[in-house]
C-alpha cells in the first residue's frame, strides 16, 4: 500500500451537492456520530434520505469510466442500472466524541460501460445510524469521473447543479420503509460548501455476495392471512437483508445470530403497495431471519428472502487441516468470524460495529489476517486511522490500555508488510501517545494519574467489571501494557533511525520495570498483584471507579508480566505454571487467551499447554459453529449477558495454530528472513499454509516423518 501517493485534486475540485435548503430545511444538518459518551454536543436526531440522478448522452461509446465518489454518511451508487459500490469507507472514529473525523475517504473505481449513455443513480442517507458511521454534520454527495471514449478521447464529469435530486421519504426510519408514501418530483440539486477533508481510501471496494437460505423456496401467503416463518442460514453473515415481494404486504423482518438471541433482536418493517425488491440499508449480523408477513393483496403473494453478504475482498487464503477434526473446526470458525469482521475497517463484530477505539480487538485481528489472508492493507489502514484519532485527541483514545496495543499493532503490521511509510505516518501520533503516558506517571514510577484502567477483560471480579476496573484491579495490567508499548515503540524508532527516541523508550521501560517489581510484586505470594490500594489521583467517574483498600491477584496481570518482560526465566515459568493450574484466580476470556499464548511462546512453554488450552474453543464451537462466541462465561454477575456469535477478538487460534505448528517467527520485515521449526504437538498429521508477500508457505507434517516444507523464493529461512 503506497500511502504517499494521494491524487485528491480532481475530486476536491469537484462539487458537493445536496437537497436544496429552501425546499428541505429540515434535512440539512445531522449528528456527527451516535456515541458522544461525554455529552459534548446536542442530539439532532435527524434521519433522512436523498436520491440523486444524472443522465449523460454521447455520440460515441464510453469505453472506460474512472470514478471517484464520496457521500455523507451512507450511499449506494448505480451506473446504467447496475450496482457499483456502497460507501463511504469508514473514517474510523472513537468512543471519545470526535466532532469531525480527521479525514473523509473517497472511493476510486474503474468500470467499462461500453455504452453511449451514462446514467448515475445514488441513494444517500443523512445522519449516522451505526457506531462506525461518522459525519461532518450535514448531508452531501460528491462524484468525479473521467470518461475515456472508444476513440481514445476523454471528458470529465462532476456533480453540479444540473444533477436532479429529491428526498426519499419512503425511508421513514433506519428500519422502516413504506412504499405507500408518495414520491416527490426531482428538482435541481444545490451545490453546498465542502466541509469534508477528502483523502483516497487505501482499500478496494467491498465484495457483495447473494446468500440463499437453507430453505430456498419462496414463502407463499394466502389472501388476508399472516404467516410467520423462521429462515436459517448456514453461517452467520455480515449482511444486508433482501426480500423479493410479489404484492401488497406488511412485513416485519427480525434478524438474529442464533435462536436463543431472538429476544434481543431488532426488526425492520416494510410496507409494500405492490411488487418490490427490498434491500436493507444497513448490514447486520445474521444467522437467522424471522419474517412476519401479512398479505394485504387480493391475490396470494410470495416472499423470497436472501442476504447480501458484504466483506473485504478475499484473495489467497491460509489453511489448516489436521487429524483432529474438532481443532480444524475451531480454526475454520475463527477464520470465518474474521472474514465477516473485515469491512471497510476491522470490526469487533458485525452485530456491535464498534469504531476503531477497540485497538485490542484489531491488534489480534491483524495477526489473524497475516495467517488467514494475503492482504494486509486493511490492517495498515486501521493503524493509520487510529493514528489520526490520536492526533486529533492529543495522544488519547477512549480505551487507555488499548492505545498501547496500537503500538504493537503498528509494529506487527510493519513486520508483515515492510511498509516503512506506515511507521513514518504514525510517528507523530506515537510521540503524542508516549508524551501523554509520561504525564500519567506518579512519584513511585507507576501509572498513577491515568484517566482509567480500561480495557482489561470481559468479566466481573470483586463486583467490578474489568471493562473499566478500579485501580486495585487494573493498575498493574495498564503498567504492563505500557511496558510492552515502550518496547515496541523503541523498535519503531530504531527502524526510523531515531536513536534518541529509541534510547529514551528503553530507559523508560527499565525504570518502569523496576517500579513494577518494587511496588506491585508480592514476594511471599510469588505473584504480581493487580494494583495499589491507594486513592485515585484524579476524580472518580464512570470509567474510573473509587478505589478500595484491597490487594488482589489475577491471571491477567501475571500473564502480561511474563509477556512484556517484567519477569523472565525460571520465575516466569513458575508464574505461568501457577496461572494455568490455579483455579482460585479469576478466569480469563478467549480475548485474553491471546496474551497467554504470547507469554507461553516467549518462554518456550507451548509444548505442555497449547493443546490443553485450545480445548476450550472446542467447547464453544461445538455449541455454535456458525460464528465465534464472544466468551466462554457470561461477563456479568447475573450470568445473563447476551453473547454475540461473531466476535473475532477471541479468534487467536486462527493465528496461533498455524504459527505454532510451523514454529514460525518473522525475523526481518516483509518476510525477508524467517525461522521455522515445525512440530505436531501431539497431532497425527497436519497440513498448513500461510500467505506471505512472496507467496504461500506450505508444510505437511506427519508423525514419524520429515516435514514437507515449501517456502517461496525470496524468503530466507534460518
Q: DSSP string of 30-48?
A: --S-S--TT--S------E
Q: Long-range contacts made by residues 568-575, C-beta under 8 angstroms, separation at least 24?
A: 568/603, 572/599, 572/602, 572/603, 573/603, 573/605, 574/526, 575/526, 575/527
Percent of the chain with pLDDT over 90: 90
Residue 120 banded pLDDT, cuts 50, 70, 90: very high
Distances from the Cα of 528 to the Cαs of 440, 476, 509, 592, in angstroms?
21, 8, 17, 17
Question: 3-class SS at 189?
Answer: coil
**Distance between CA atoms of 653 and 234, rounded to whole angstroms?**
22
In this prediction, residue 98 has a pLDDT band, given cuts at 50, 70 and 90, of: low
**435-451 burial, b if ≥16 CB within 10 A, otherwise e?**
ebbeebbeeebbbbebe
Query: How is residue 305 annotated by DSSP?
Result: E
Dihedral through CA 39, CA 41, CA 43, CA 44, nearest 10?
A: -170
Among the listed residues 418, 362, 356, the one whose alpha carbon sits nearest the alpha carbon of residue 388: 356
Q: 539-570: buried (b, 16+ CB within 10 Å) or exposed (e) per residue?
A: eeeebbbebbeeebbbbbbbbbbbbbebbeee
pLDDT at 542 over 70: yes
pLDDT tens, position by position, 360-414: 999 999 999 999 999 999 999 999 999 999 999 999 999 999 999 999 999 999 9
Q: How confident is the model at residue 14 (pLDDT cuts 50, 70, 90)?
A: confident
Give the pLDDT of residue 42. Answer: 66
Averaged pLDDT, 328-342 = 98
Give the E-state strand segments of 226-356 in sequence order: 226-245, 249-256, 266-272, 276-279, 284-295, 301-311, 319-322
**Torsion angle (degrees, nearest 10) of CA 396, 398, 399, 405:** -40
Residue 4 CB partners (closer than 8 Å, separation 6+): 421
Q: What pLDDT does residue 46 have?
A: 83
Please report which confidence band the pLDDT of residue 61 belongs to, taking 50, 70 and 90 as the band edges: very high
User: Can you give the pTM of this predicted structure?
Assistant: 0.96
Domains for the chain: give ranges and CATH numbers. 9-201 (2.60.120.260), 208-311 (2.60.120.260)
Q: Which of 163, 161, 142, 201 lies closest to 13 in space, CA to CA?
A: 142
Question: Could you tell me the three cell numbers for 168?
Answer: 426519499
Non-local (6+) Cβ contacts of 685 within 8 A are: 322, 323, 700, 701, 702, 703
Amino acid at each position: 500500500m503506497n500511502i504517499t501517493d494521494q491524487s485528491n485534486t480532481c475530486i476536491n475540485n469537484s462539487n458537493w451537492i445536496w437537497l436544496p435548503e429552501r425546499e428541505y430545511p429540515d434535512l440539512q444538518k445531522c449528528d456527527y456520530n451516535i456515541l458522544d459518551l461525554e455529552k459534548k454536543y446536542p442530539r439532532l436526531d435527524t434521519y433522512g434520505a436523498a436520491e440523486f440522478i444524472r443522465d449523460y448522452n454521447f455520440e460515441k461509446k464510453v469505453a472506460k469510466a474512472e470514478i471517484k465518489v464520496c457521500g455523507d454518511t451512507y450511499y449506494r451508487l448505480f451506473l446504467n442500472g447496475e450496482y457499483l459500490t456502497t460507501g463511504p469507507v469508514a473514517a474510523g472514529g472513537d468512543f471519545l466524541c470526535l466532532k469531525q473525523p480527521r479525514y473523509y475517504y473517497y472511493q476510486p473505481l474503474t468500470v467499462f460501460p461500453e455504452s453511449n449513455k451514462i446514467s448515475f443513480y445514488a441513494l444517500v442517507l443523512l445522519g449516522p445510524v451505526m457506531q462506525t458511521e461518522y459525519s461532518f454534520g450535514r448531508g452531501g454527495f460528491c462524484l468525479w469521473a473521467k470518461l475515456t471514449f472508444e476513440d481514445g478521447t476523454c471528458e470529465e464529469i462532476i456533480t453540479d447543479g444540473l444533477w436532479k435530486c429529491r428526498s426519499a421519504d419512503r425511508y421513514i426510519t433506519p428500519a422502516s420503509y413504506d412504499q405507500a408514501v408518495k414520491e416527490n418530483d426531482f428538482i435541481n440539486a444545490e451545490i453546498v460548501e465542502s466541509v469534508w477533508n477528502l483523502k483516497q481510501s487505501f482499500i478496494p471496494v467491498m465484495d457483495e455476495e447473494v446468500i440463499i437460505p437453507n430453505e430456498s423456496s419462496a414463502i407463499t401467503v394466502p389472501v388476508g392471512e399472516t404467516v410467520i416463518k423462521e429462515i436459517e442460514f448456514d453461517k452467520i453473515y455480515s449482511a444486508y437483508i433482501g426480500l423479493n415481494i410479489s404484492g401488497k404486504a406488511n412485513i416485519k423482518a427480525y434478524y438474529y445470530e442464533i435462536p436463543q438471541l431472538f429476544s434481543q433482536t431488532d426488526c425492520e418493517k416494510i410496507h409494500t403497495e405492490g411488487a418490490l425488491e427490498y434491500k436493507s440499508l444497513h448490514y447486520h449480523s445474521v444467522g437467522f431471519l424471522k419474517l412476519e408477513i401479512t398479505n394485504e393483496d387480493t391475490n396470494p403473494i410470495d416472499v423470497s428472502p436472501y442476504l447480501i453478504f458484504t466483506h473485504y475482498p478475499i484473495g489467497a487464503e491460509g489453511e489448516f487441516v489436521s487429524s483432529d477434526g474438532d481443532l480444524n473446526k475451531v480454526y475454520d470458525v475463527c477464520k470465518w468470524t474474521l472474514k465477516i469482521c473485515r469491512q471497510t475497517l476491522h470490526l469487533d463484530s458485525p452485530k456491535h460495529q464498534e469504531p476503531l477505539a477497540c485497538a485490542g480487538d484489531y491488534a489480534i485481528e491483524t495477526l489473524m489476517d497475516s495467517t488467514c489472508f494475503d492482504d494486509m492493507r486493511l490492517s495498515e489502514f486501521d493503524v493509520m486511522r487510529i493514528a489520526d484519532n490520536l492526533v486529533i485527541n492529543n495522544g488519547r483514545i477512549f480505551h487507555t490500555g488499548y492505545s498501547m496495543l496500537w503500538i504493537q499493532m503498528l509494529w506487527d503490521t510493519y513486520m508483515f508488510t515492510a511498509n516503512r511509510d506506515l511507521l513514518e505516518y504514525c510517528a507523530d501520533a506515537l510521540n503524542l501517545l508516549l508524551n501523554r503516558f509520561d504525564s500519567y506517571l506518579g512519584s513511585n514510577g507507576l501509572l498513577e494519574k491515568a484517566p482509567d484502567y480500561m480495557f482489561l477483560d470481559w468479566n466481573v471480579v470483586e463486583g467490578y467489571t474489568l471493562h473499566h476496573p478500579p485501580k486495585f484491579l487494573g493498575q498493574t495490567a495498564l503498567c504492563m501494557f505500557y511496558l510492552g508499548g515502550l518496547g515496541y515503540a523503541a523498535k519503531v524508532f530504531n527502524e526510523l533511525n531515531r536513536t534518541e527516541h529509541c534510547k529514551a523508550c528503553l530507559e523508560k521501560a527499565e525504570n518502569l520495570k523496576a517500579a513494577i517489581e518494587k511496588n506491585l510484586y508480592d514476594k511471599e505470594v510469588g505473584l504480581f498483584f493487580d494494583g495499589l490500594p491507594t486513592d485515585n489521583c484524579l476524580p472518580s467517574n464512570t470509567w474510573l471507579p473509587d478505589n478500595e483498600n484491597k490487594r488482589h491477584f489475577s491471571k491477567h496481570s501475571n500473564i502480561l508480566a511474563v509477556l512484556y518482560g517484567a519477569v523472565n526465566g525460571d520465575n516466569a515459568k513458575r508464574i505461568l505454571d501457577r496461572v494455568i493450574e490455579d483455579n482460585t484466580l479469576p478466569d480469563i476470556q478467549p480475548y485474553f487467551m491471546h496474551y497467554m499464548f504470547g507469554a507461553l511462546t516467549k518462554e518456550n512453554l507451548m509444548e505442555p499447554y497449547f493443546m490443553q488450552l485450545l480445548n476450550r474453543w472446542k467447547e464453544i464451537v461445538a455449541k455454535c459453529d456458525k460464528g465465534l462466541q464472544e466468551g466462554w462465561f457470561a461477563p456479568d454477575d447475573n450470568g445473563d449477558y447476551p453473547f454475540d456469535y461473531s466476535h473475532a477478538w477471541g479468534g487467536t487460534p486462527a493465528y496461533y495454530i498455524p504459527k505454532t505448528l510451523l514454529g514460525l517467527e518473522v525475523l526481518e520485515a516483509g518476510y525477508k528472513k524467517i525461522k521455522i521449526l515445525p512440530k505436531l504437538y501431539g497431532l497425527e498429521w497436519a497440513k498448513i499454509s500461510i500467505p506471505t508477500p512472496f507467496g504461500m508457505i506450505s508444510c505437511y507434517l506427519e508423525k514419524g516423518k520429515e516435514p514437507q516444507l515449501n517456502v517461496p523464493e525470496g524468503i530466507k529461512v534460518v
